[in-house]
Chains A and B, each alone.
Chain A
């Protein structure tokens, strides 16, 4: 793991006067170890817990995850947990592992927002001499501002997502006379191409049209059709996630669709102009909402206007009315402004930005979508 990040974490521990951490959140574990756990949230019965201190780290997890972390060359100690490991067993193993160490009676930070109540109680019971402190603020503080190497990984993750979308568009091009593949298959092409270009994993992906496109999520195998289509995808590279989404048009776009897209870009551009260090997320949200209203553009404010990305596909800060976080240099934001298409379709064009000293730097630079992309053309032979 890069030394800049290790130093930052250890400085954070000093600031909060913590001797160590007991961490359950899979994304926090990735952050603190540099190692991914494969699709951890999809296995809610499994436990993975990291004990982190500047002098010693130990990961408790099922055997296949332990092996995977070893392969990623993480240098800490590891303890295998049974598949049906109870909170009591976990607590007992933690207690055994920490016996005799200063941590057993130290100030231990727990990511209480991600540790179950059951595990939290067991930790307290089996480490009675330790003082348990919430580490949520520490983890938020550490993760919200990225190091240079984290930003590189986020940029790479963004590139893979964008390549995935471009590849799908490339495969759809030249087929509108005989579109025979379905929306979900078109979406699958994003996923496959992320693999081919070197991504680590794909998260959510959809290709939505018509009624499905009026919602955030849908599942539809129907054939691609003339009209707007929204492709959304999240992908991971070396533990860092990107969230991408583009709206395109199959066949020649109607004037109404083009206008709707231009309106979206107008609001997005305005939101982008507000992304600066010192600006509060809730103020940005309010200003964008007001501006959209002034321009007569229906921005879908209940979806917020963006969020952070990092070791998870959506994290602090949130461009919503509820988050008063001040933006700072080296935060990374997915600017995600939804507006409506002519038939109330949710349309957007996400871009990922690093907050710089006085503005933003685009990390999802692979291709500009400054006008509505139209997929036109019939099949032609390639040589």
Chain B
């Protein structure tokens, strides 16, 4: 059961101070909401969506970190943030002068400043340089990605627990499904989300949502229903069928960290095509767990798995990654795709997301969350044994 008591100290502050001490930087300034959340611990869900109401954190070697935010959320930030010093500004629109003045003040006399260049907007960057023409700027992105991908023990525990809870949520929801009481995808998605809420996840909006899909619509990542349009935050209201292989997906968050879960269920014993393609998924899953070891690169895992799939006649979803890390954002580096050359190491957490395409075009998937421990992957989100989908109750 998730409870805040278990996760009081993720040791982020100690880690960042130690890592910063080893750099030549005087301070680190982050503009990306995810980096701000990582450093502060404050999850304010609407910050990414209110693009004119920007936040930042300035973390100096020799002084207290500062959280910069619009005045209207100051008290909310103060409540949730580990960073005690907050400087607020009156919002005036995108990259407002007030915002950049606050950032410049927080930087103070620092000479060498590291910035998350993948996140800071061009306008904010230029305004900062106008205010601080003499600072030397370095890119902090790789350093930040490195800090974030190598989880502290507290983060490992928290992420493992959330992943387990998400899987438990799916199981808890599946307990209610019955072949002689099939409802719509939308209604099931709401029920799945409720079962996550019952397990103490944080109930927020936006991408913290559930998706249920099957038959024709199971061919899509984000199924669009003709009648209702692209209601991507919910599921279509089409009725499921007794012979569906249903995809039950849910993203949940707790204490600012995420789980990305997806499992299939059926209403009765599996049909032959389900056995075939779920079997292919399980085969791939076992293969990936067999090759993932500390020291192997993400790209190598991807290439080997893709080659194995081709050899076995398993059709994988085109151009889609085979896995991603997770933390204060749902998708984080490193990604298991054909490009990422980062080596997998102990302390990293991944969600393995191979999607097998069945002959009817449906996506067959079942996400495994793994924690790298003592050189090997440990699956942390098996609430039940997933060698088969959840087989529902045929009739009551």
Q: Which of B91, B126, B193, B203 is in CB contact (< 8 Å) with A304?
A: B91
A217 contacts B233, CB within 8 Å?
no
On chain B, the residues within 8 Å of A214 by CB distance are 75
| Chain B 238-286 residues near chain A, CB threshold 8 A | none
Dominant secondary structure at the B interface: loop
CA distance A71 to B220 in the complex (A): 9
A233→B45 CA distance, assembly (Å): 12
Interface residues on A, range: 35 or more
B204 at the interface (CB under 8 A from A): yes
CB neighbours of A86 from chain B (8 A): 339
- Whole-angstrom distance from the CB of A288 to the nearest CB of chain B? 15
The CA-CA distance from A196 to B228 in the complex, in Å, is 10
CA–CA, A322 to B101, complex, Å? 14
Q: Is A128 an interface residue (CB 8 A)?
A: no
B233 with A236: CB separation less than 8 A: yes
Q: In the complex, are the beta carbons of A318 and B194 less than 8 A apart? A: no
Q: Is B354 an interface residue (CB 8 A)?
A: no
Q: Does A115 lie within 8 Å of B121, measured CB to CB?
A: yes
- Give the contacting residue for A315; candidates B52, B75, B330, B337; CB below 8 A: B52
**For residue A43, which residues in chain B have a CB less than 8 angstroms away from its CB?**
329-331
Given A42-B329, A45-B329, decide whether A302 and B125 contact each other with a Cβ distance below 8 A.
no
Q: Is A83 an interface residue (CB 8 A)?
A: yes
| Minimum CB distance partner of B54 in chain A | A113
| Bound-complex Cα distance A144 to B116 (A) | 30
Q: Is B308 an interface residue (CB 8 A)?
A: no
Chain B contacts for A215, CB-based, 8 A: 75-76, 79
Identify which of residues 297-314 in chain A touch chain B, using a CB-to-CB cut-off of 8 Å.
Answer: 302-304, 312-314
A166 within 8 A of B: no
Whether B52 contacts A320 by the Cβ 8 Å rule is no
The answer to whether the Cβ of A169 comes within 8 Å of any Cβ in the partner chain is: no
For chain B, give the interface size range: 35 or more
Q: Which residues of B, 58-89, contact A by the 8 Å Cβ criterion?
A: 71-76, 79, 88
> B118 contacts the other chain (Cβ, under 8 Å)?
yes
Flag if B224 contacts A204 (CB, 8 Å).
no
**Nearest chain B residue, comparing its CB with the CB of A202:** B205
Inter-chain CA distance A44–B194, complex, in Å, is: 27
Q: Is the CB of B50 within 8 A of A313?
A: yes
Interface string of B300-326 (1 = CB under 8 A from A): 000000000000000001111100100
A362 to chain B, nearest CB (A): 24
What does the 1/0 interface line of A125-167 toward B look like (CB < 8 Å)? 0000000001010000000000000000000000000000000
Instruction: Give the shortest distance, in Å, between A1 (CB) and chain B (any CB).
Output: 14
A57 within 8 A of B: no
A113 touches B205 (CB 8 A): no
Q: Looking at the complex, which of A13-21, A97-105, A187-195, A374-382 is the stretch in contact with chain B? A: A187-195
B71 & A219 in contact (Cβ 8 Å cutoff): no
What residues of chain B lie closer than 8 Å to A304, measured between beta carbons? 72, 91
Whole-angstrom CA separation of A136 from B127 in the bound complex: 15
CB distance from A83 to the nearest CB of B (A): 4
Judging by beta carbons under 8 Å apart, are B48 and A44 in contact? yes
CB distance from B141 to the nearest CB of A (A): 8
| Chain A residues within an 8 Å CB radius of B74 | 302
Question: Within A306-361, which residues are at the interface with B (CB < 8 Å)?
Answer: 312-316, 318, 320-323
Asked if B98 is an interface residue, CB under 8 A from chain A, the answer is yes
Contact B232 A38 (CB under 8 A): yes
Judge whether A318 and B91 touch: CB under 8 Å.
yes
Q: How far is the CB of A181 from chain B (nearest CB, A)?
A: 11
Tell me how many residue pairs across A and B have CB atoms closer than 8 Å: 243
Shortest Cβ distance from residue A29 to the other chain B in the assembled complex, whole angstroms: 12
Instruction: List, in ascending order, chain B residues with CB within 8 A of A82's CB.
Output: 319, 321, 335, 337-339
Does the CB pair A322–B121 fall under 8 Å? Answer: no
CB–CB A45/B50 < 8 A: no
Question: Does B92 lie within 8 Å of A318, measured CB to CB?
Answer: yes
Q: Does A238 contact B (CB under 8 A)?
A: yes
Is the CB–CB distance between B45 and A201 below 8 Å?
A: no
Contact call B121/A83, Cβ cutoff below 8 A: no
Whether the Cβ atoms of A195 and B123 lie closer than 8 Å is: no
Within 8 Å CB of B339, what residues of A?
82-86, 89
A116-B122, A318-B52 known; A68-B321 Cβ under 8 A: no
A221-B98 in contact (CB<8A): no
The interface residues of chain A lying within 8 Å CB-to-CB of B76 are: 215-218
With A42-B206, A204-B205, A216-B75 as contacts: A71 and B118 at CB distance below 8 Å: no
- Asked if B94 CB lies within 8 Å of chain A CBs, one says yes
B332: which A residues are within 8 A, CB to CB?
45
Q: Is the CB of A201 within 8 A of B232?
A: yes
A195 to B209, CA, bound (A): 12
Is the beta-carbon distance between A41 and B90 smaller than 8 angstroms? no
CB contact between A42 and one of B73, B207, B319 (< 8 Å): that residue: B207
Contacts A195-B190, A203-B49, A219-B202; A112 near B330 (Cβ below 8 A): no
Q: Which residues of A contact B (CB under 8 A)?
A: 25, 27, 35-36, 38-39, 41-46, 63-64, 67-68, 71-72, 80, 82-87, 89, 110, 112-118, 120, 134, 136, 184-185, 187-188, 191-192, 195-196, 198-205, 214-219, 221, 233-234, 236, 238, 302-304, 312-316, 318, 320-323
Question: What are 15 A-B pairs with beta-carbon distances under 8 A?
Answer: A41-B49, A44-B33, A84-B337, A86-B339, A87-B118, A112-B122, A113-B122, A116-B122, A191-B205, A192-B190, A201-B209, A217-B44, A302-B74, A314-B52, A322-B98
